[in-house]
Amino acid sequence: MVTIRLTRRGATNQPFYHVVVTDSRKRQGGASLEQVGFFNPIARKGEPKLKLDLARIDYWVSKGAQQSDRVRSLVRDYRKQATA
């Protein structure tokens, strides 16, 4: 099954996450099919906290990809922010 989930990057105490499309059987840091965005929970002023390619996420969901709970909430918040 194809999953859209977060994969952690960054240094100790400085988390940075890539939003990736991957096979659910692969390990969390392993190879992914496509990177569709990023999430920076400790973004400073002027830095974007969240950036997603909604068109690609919608494409993968239409092909049967499942989103993790955290990615689902991030996409929902990003859509609200984009319309406001």
Q: Which domains does the chain have, with CATH numbers?
A: 2-83 (3.30.1320.10)
27-75 residue pLDDT tens? 777 788 999 999 999 988 899 999 999 999 999 999 999 999 999 999 9
The DSSP letter of residue 40 is: -
14-23 residue pLDDT tens? 999 999 999 8
Angle ∠(9,16,11) on CA atoms, nearest 5? 60
Helices 69-83/54-62 angle, 10° precision:
130
